[in-house]
Structure 1
């Protein structure tokens, strides 16, 4: 296979940083981006071009950045939409601005970066778009409603994108990690609103302590996830000879929880089948 050119968002840490190193190890080329360019400039020593890209900027600014990348490097074969963060807090404790900020990064920022590259992919009739979703795209946990909402939204819009662009020769992958040892829960990445509302305060305190204890103790290995994604894109390793799925949960916890939700949903559909199917307008005889 000829070397691919990848563009990755959110490369300052976690999955994004690992993608850069794993892509290079496969012999491909990668363009690394981050909101704060100073946090990824060390990648220049590896021969990796770096660009400042805040995905919450305007569509015009993002378009200009992508155009600059294409002008300098000729093409992009694979887009990894990785940049995201998690907001923690109850519905009552999170402000409207907190909700807007969560969706601005996790949903609308992802839309803008993808829109900026879609004409390039469409004109070439090839390209792969990878979206890093989450177990929270399946399950809304208490105190994580904003994050889950953003990931549920991402799941729907990416599924629609897949349906719109598959006939153009474009590939779409939706990756759903469980709990992986990234910086997602670190104090520098997570934005939390501890509750002082009496009915929520104790549970909020316990959640904050639990998340702090889980940080850097998650069971998932980011290296293994990234290597699987590269296999899926390149048709190697675990993907060799396999039909690559559009959506793939990754992580033992993700497998267990998604399976449980699917089974519960099927059980509900069967139990309530007659009611569910009773809503059509009666035809007159």
Structure 2
């Protein structure tokens, strides 16, 4: 069955890889980006014809999300699958990160995804079917030094999506969080990732090592964006798709480590946890 996919941040990286995979599978794609001409250029000569619609969208602007979704409905009749992929990484130590940088991170990674989803859901509710994917990160379940702000935005995405999945399930709509590990994209390029606006001497050496490690990792990541797109198609075709999916062997390893850590702490401290319970009053006979 041919479906219409709406993919944000489709001009490069994961978004472009997912777009290619979905189009190659014979589906239609509304590919959205702030510079849609980059999408057209990247996919020119691929023979996708009128199955590809490139649209302008800055996810931080609700009115642009509504306009892009309206155009998608006008062109293809609706949207079957939404992929909230647009985002960037605000890395660096918390104290080095300005208030403006933190707010910008949430505006794109959290509120941007919410704007687009809010525009798409009425179409899915009308049909009583659909699937919302939101790209989080392995940093959305496991935070480390240097990822505090980025992880905060992705933790927020995961909490929102987990609750959303429960809200829309009775309406025949699925919601899945995608937690990628390191994928071979330009995520670590200066055009995508940013670091702290300030320099605090106490953190200087840690920051230097952290930044150098990420520079050395750039374009050497193991994950393949197009293969991720193929997996999203498989997840969409499942009768009971998962609420979370760890993308990459590195990501699944981190998720398992975090799950084991949470369980170990809960088991070790369960008696102390229970000690906070109040006395239950017995109802009068």
Task: Settle same-fold status: TM greater than 0.5.
Answer: yes
**Change beyond 3 A, Cα 1:105–1:128:** same
Superposed, which structure 2 residues align to 1:34-53 within 5 Å? 34-42=33-41, 43=43, 45=45, 46-47=48-49, 48-53=52-57
CA distance in 2, matches of 1:53, 1:116: 12
CA distance in 1, matches of 2:237, 2:269: 43
Superposed, which structure 2 residues align to 1:1-285 within 5 Å? 2-42=1-41, 43=43, 45=45, 46-47=48-49, 48-57=52-61, 59-193=62-196, 196-235=199-238, 243-283=240-280
**Change beyond 3 A, Cα 1:261–1:122:** same
How far off its partner does 1:199 sit? 0.6
Moved over 6 A (4+): none
How far off its partner does 1:260 sit? 1.3
If the length of structure 2 is used for normalisation, what is the TM-score? 0.93
CA distance in 1, matches of 2:153, 2:242: 22
How far off its partner does 1:72 sit? 2.1
How far off its partner does 1:259 sit? 1.0
How far off its partner does 1:22 sit? 0.8
8 Å Cα contact 2:59-2:116 kept in structure 1 = yes
Tell which deviates more after alignment, 74-83 or 222-231: 222-231
Partner of 1:238: none
How far off its partner does 1:223 sit? 2.3
8 Å Cα contact 1:7-1:76 kept in structure 2 = yes
8 Å Cα contact 1:44-1:50 kept in structure 2 = no
How far off its partner does 1:167 sit? 0.2
The DSSP-based 3-state class of the residue aligned with 1:149 is helix
The DSSP-based 3-state class of the residue aligned with 1:191 is coil
8 Å Cα contact 2:97-2:198 kept in structure 1 = no
Tell which deviates more after alignment, 148-157 or 176-185: 176-185
Root-mean-square deviation (Å): 1.5
- Can you list the C-alpha shifts for 1:68-102, whole angstroms capped at 9, x where unaligned? 22112211111111111001121111111100000
8 Å Cα contact 2:10-2:16 kept in structure 1 = yes
Q: Which runs of 5+ in 1 are unaligned?
A: 236-241
Higher relative contact order (CA 8 A, sep 6+): 2
8 Å Cα contact 1:18-1:222 kept in structure 2 = yes
CA distance in 2, matches of 1:41, 1:5: 18
How many residues align structurally?
277
The DSSP-based 3-state class of the residue aligned with 1:87 is coil
